[in-house]
Amino acid sequence: MDRYDIIVVGSGPAGATFTRILNENNRVLMVDRRPLDKKPLNVIKNCGGLIAPDAQKALAGFGLSLPVDILVTPQTFAVETLDFDNNMIRSYQRHYVNVDRELFDRWLLSLCDTQNVQKSFSTHFIGAKKTKDGYIVTLKKENKRYEVFTSMIVGADGANSKVKKDLMQKENKPEKYVSIQEWFENKTELNRYVAIFDNEISDFYSWVIPKGQYIIFGSAIKENENVHKLHQLQKEKLARYGYDLSAPVKRSGSYILRPKSFKDISLGTKDVVLIGEAAGFISPTSAEGISYAMISGAQLAQALNKDMQNFASLYRKNSTSLRCNIIKKMLKYPFMYNRFIRKIIFKANIGTLDIKT
């Protein structure tokens, strides 16, 4: 049986950043369900692929610059807000970096190509059995199950984290939303990012993002509601504004967490640790998670590098800033998602752009 110091479940921004910064004295196995070692690129990540200012700041803090081959057109400098609740439209200045999300993940992974790291793609985490000095982990690849031993498991496997679900059943569970995202041909040459507020559909929001020759339409709808029906209804409403969303080229879905308090952040234990959205690190207002993923991954690695025995308390201390940041976003929530407050703000034209075409 192969033995590792740490197994990282999930190789997105959280898992890749953690592995890159972790001391190379640790023998690490990274597993991911996606076939990221194969071509052609055929894995749809259910993400808009916009690097928000917080994520840009995180990359700058790591001394990283995005390679040009992961960028896609257009690069947008404003967001158009469609408020169906108040029948109003406003635009605001925002600068997002538009990327191919899969290529972004592959680039982050390429930065942790070291001899101490083994990567296993198209690999599913099936479960883990606790032993006196670690875990026997069951994995599945190419329909074959096999076991490996590890002293520690790091869950970087997103909102629907199986690591958290199987090994930390007593932890608090943040509110969960279903995100459906579809790709369409960009027949109208849309060149702006659009955010849609519509309480009939969701108390969160929907989005339209141009992505090269395509546009992405996605919506985040509370779990246990009629998700597909509401998603379709949002498309029908957008058709009145000239959006042709009748023939999707591809479609994906995933869960999104929406933390509402400190209790919704679960860091884990001394041998099962969570980072990124698995830990509940995601903006409750915008669902931006890339910055939180990279920063929390780095914070855990730095804690382990400093003190393997007492890393858990160091990780909790290091991540206080992230948890406080989420609390600040919670305070912003009423101004974004209360239709009456939003109407007042829109009418006052606070911070709006007068776009001339």
Reading the chain (357 residues) residue by residue, the pLDDT tens digits are 899 999 999 999 999 999 999 999 999 999 999 998 887 565 566 788 999 999 999 999 999 999 999 999 999 888 999 999 999 999 999 899 999 999 999 999 999 989 999 999 999 999 999 999 999 999 999 999 999 999 999 999 999 999 999 998 666 678 899 999 999 999 888 888 999 999 999 999 999 999 989 999 999 999 988 999 999 999 999 998 889 898 999 999 999 999 988 889 999 988 999 999 999 999 999 999 999 999 999 999 999 999 999 999 999 999 999 999 998 998 888 888 999 999 998 999 888 888 766
8 A C-beta contact, residue 65 and residue 321: no
pLDDT for 157: 96
Give the dihedral sign, CA 314/320/321/322.
positive
- Could you give the C-alpha distances from 199 to 16, 207, 264, 319, 331, in angstroms and in order? 36, 14, 24, 33, 19
8 A C-beta contact, residue 126 and residue 138: yes
Provide the whole-model pTM.
0.94
pLDDT for 169: 67
Map residue 167 onto helix, strand or coil: helix
pLDDT for 190: 85
- Beta bridge partner(s), residue 185: 214
| DSSP assignment string, 210-224 | EETTEEEEEEEEETT
Give the start-to-end residue ranges of the domains of the chain.
3-344
CA dihedral 261, 275, 287, 38 (to 10 degrees): -160
Taking alpha carbons only, the member of 14, 114, 21, 58 closest to residue 306 is 21
Which structure tokens are listed for 28? 């690490």
pLDDT for 41: 61
Taking alpha carbons only, the member of 240, 176, 174, 230 closest to residue 202 is 230
Taking alpha carbons only, the member of 307, 315, 326 closest to residue 275 is 315
| DSSP assignment string, 297-327 | HHHHHHHHHH-SSSHHHHHHHHTHHHHHHHH
Single-letter amino acid, residue 196? I
CATH of domain 3-344: 3.50.50.60
Distance CA 57, CA 104 (A): 16
